[in-house]
Structure 1
Amino acid sequence: MITPNIVGRSFGYVDPTFPNPNGKNDTSIIIYGYTPSIGLAAFAAAWFFVHLIGHTTQNLTTHSWWWMTFSTGLIFEIIGYIARSLSAEKDPYNLIYFVLQYFFIVTAPVFLAAGIYTILSALISRLGNQYSFLKPKVILGFFITSDAVSTIVQIAGACLVGVKESRREDPTTANHILLAGLAYQVFAMSIFVVLMATFQFRARRTIKEHGYQLFCFAFSVATIMVYLRTVFRLAETAEGLGGKLSTNEVYFACLEFAPIALVVLLLGIFHPGRCLGAKVRVSDEKVHRHHDMNTSAAHLRV
């Protein structure tokens, strides 16, 4: 394993086996803090591409257009890991590659999270508003807006970090901007996790009657994985450039890539369009009819 070369302060990695091309967009150091692995980047791009095909195909066959935000997130993941592959194989010093991979990999989970927020709204619509502390429209409006605002702040901070590092200037202020965006995202996501957990607890009998147990389990795990990834990003940024979390790719692989890879796998197997239907909101009449059919079936089984 290559040890970071400390230049002047706590951050300044230069790969001795990869000479700096000193091109127009090259920085004097590798901002990652390591040379990215081409194996991880290529595998991740391929993984998300396969699942993009799977999710989009199921969206089309089930007419669940509301789940297309998830496919959008997968496209962002693919672009991000392609840019990371270019960093790994072609030029790890290139600022453009770094900014592109950061922008798309950080932004992608926003679209994935939007899909997760929509799942909770769909479940509330089918199982009953009485089990939720907030209405479905409020959940969608608040959490999607929160993610959008926090992501804009994060991207602004990340771009400033890249610029400051390329100029060998102090990136502390830029890192604080990035940290503020992540802190708010973790705060909002924490509220969502509580809402999701309390809803499922209060609606546990109805969930069982509708046969949603496995789907709700997959949904819960997916939510926790997105939350774990967001907490990791917050901890990484709080530690600062040159910290252990940001300069060791194993943490990126285990706490950025792996959780999101599991999310897309779970929600591909338990596809929301197939498990919940083509529409997010259904009428009370349909909910009651579905409930009565499941109750009757349960009585027949007994």
Structure 2
Amino acid sequence: MTMPILTARGEADFDLYPYTPSASAGYAFVALFSLGGLVHLCMLIPLRAWFFIPFMLGCAGEAAGYYGRAWSHSNIRSGSPYLLQLMLILASAPLLAASIYMILGRLIRALDATHHAVLSPRWTTKIYVLIDIGSFVTQLMGTAMQASGDAAGAKTGNTIVVAGLGVQLVAFSVFILSVAVFHRRLVLEPTEISMEHKSWARYMWMLYAVSGLIVVRSIFRLAEFLEGAEGKLYTTEVFLYVFDASLMFAVVVISAAVHPGMLLRATRKRERDIPLL
């Protein structure tokens, strides 16, 4: 999608949106993502879930992005809030995804089931997080180029964003397949720890749920950028809130309700309680 070109600073000499962004919807999601980030912060320390730090940064980015949309309500030609929401709403999803990628490797090790993994937990985490970092950088760089003030740069930036979204979509599709293979193998051949902690399956279903939501969101954003600035997806604000904001907030809620740190803490306690021979 070729976005409107911004002037070097201040206000553009044309409307940056095909509508006036809803201030109430923007502020609502500022509050929701801020609350979600706070809940995860409160769970981070007692559960020692340090791998959720990128997730919390993603919540902060989402909140700041929707603040930009609420801010744009008062002036749809102001470049600063437009660029803020464009960059942060796109780039925050990979931060949420980074923590989700790291969950699988930790669950595999906690359940003593490395022999069931498609790849070793160490490589699983490294590969997917590196792909996610690449997706994050390309989307951030692409959105910055779209606001560069240069028509050629904007077109290139649009292509880069599409590439980043495409990589994210393919990576999550493969990730879901990896989760499914591991899940099936562990069901067919459970480990001692998985039989002791029978709740492990709910964390697999949590991974399916949040990964599926991000895949749907990625499909929407990819279709939006491919359709272009004149397309229905870009010119109708409600689609953004239905297929991006709401889905990403659902990811935040599900990850808190079924937090993998609970299982990881239980398995750590089990190891401490095992008597030395």
- If the length of structure 2 is used for normalisation, what is the TM-score? 0.85
The Cα of 1:71 is off from its aligned counterpart by: 1.3
> Residue 209 of structure 1: CA displacement?
5.3
Which residue is 2:171 aligned to?
A: 188
Out of 254, 262, 269, the position equivalent to 2:242 is 254
Which of residues 209, 212, 236 in structure 1 aligns to 2:224?
236
CA RMSD of aligned residues (A): 2.7
1:41-93 Cα shifts (integer Å, max 9, x gaps): 111010011111111111122222222221121111111111221112x3221
Counterpart-to-counterpart distance in 2, 1:277 and 1:34: 48
Higher mean alpha-carbon deviation, 252-261 vs 212-221, is at 212-221
Distance 1:227 1:278, change over 3 A: farther
Are 1:122 and 2:106 an aligned pair?
A: yes
Question: Kindly tell me: are residues 132 and 116 of structure 1, through their superposed partners in 2, closer, same or farther at Cα, counting changes over 3 Å?
Answer: same
Q: How does 1:108-187 map to 2 (within 5 A)?
A: 108-127=92-111, 128-164=113-149, 171-187=154-170
Matched, 1:46 2:25: no
| 1:286–1:95 CA distance, 2 compared to 1 (3 A) | same
Amino acid at match of 1:80: G
Secondary structure, counterpart of 1:277 in structure 2: helix
More helix as a share of residues: 2
Aligned to 2:21: 36
Extract unaligned runs of 5+ from structure 2. none
Q: How many angstroms does 1:98 deviate by?
A: 1.3
Listed as ranges, the gaps of 5+ residues in structure 1 are 1-9, 13-21, 290-302
Write the deviation string for residues 236-258 of structure 1: whole angstroms up to 9, x where unpaired: 11112221111111110111111
Structure 1 consecutive aligned stretches of length 4 or more whose deviation exceeds 6 Å: 167-170
**Contact kept in structure 1, 2:135 and 2:165, CA below 8 Å:** yes
Identify the range of structure 1 (199-208 vs 33-42) with the bigger mean alpha-carbon deviation: 199-208
Does 1:59 pair with 2:47? no
1:208 positional shift? 6.5
Shift of 1:224: 0.8
Aligned match of 1:75 in 56, 60, 68? 60
SS of residue matched to 1:34? coil
TM-score under structure 1 length normalisation: 0.78
8 Å CA contact retained: 2:3, 2:146: no
SS at match of 2:212: helix
Give the 3-state SS of the residue equivalent to 1:246 in structure 2: helix
- 186-195 or 208-217, larger mean C-alpha shift: 208-217
Shift of 1:278: 8.6
Matches of residues 258-269 of structure 1 in structure 2 within 5 Å? 258-269=246-257
Deviation of residue 29 (structure 1)? 2.9
Contact 1:11 1:242 survives alignment (8 Å): no
Distance in 2 (CA, whole Å) between partners of 1:278 and 1:242 is 52
Query: d(CA) in 2 for partners of 1:133 and 1:246?
Result: 38
Q: Secondary structure at the match of 1:163?
A: coil
Among 91, 99, 105, the alignment partner of 2:89 is 105
The structural deviation recorded for 1:262 is 0.6
User: Residues of 2 paired with 1:104 and 1:80: CA distance?
Assistant: 5
**Per-residue Cα deviation, 1:208-239 (whole angstroms, up to 9, x for no partner):** 65222323222210111112111211111111
* Distance (Å, rounded) in 2 between the aligned partners of 1:52 and 1:216: 22
What's the offset of the Cα at 1:97? 1.1
Q: Which has the larger radius of gyration?
A: 1
Residue identity opposite 1:265 in structure 2: V
Contact 1:225–1:263 (Cα < 8 Å) also in 2: yes
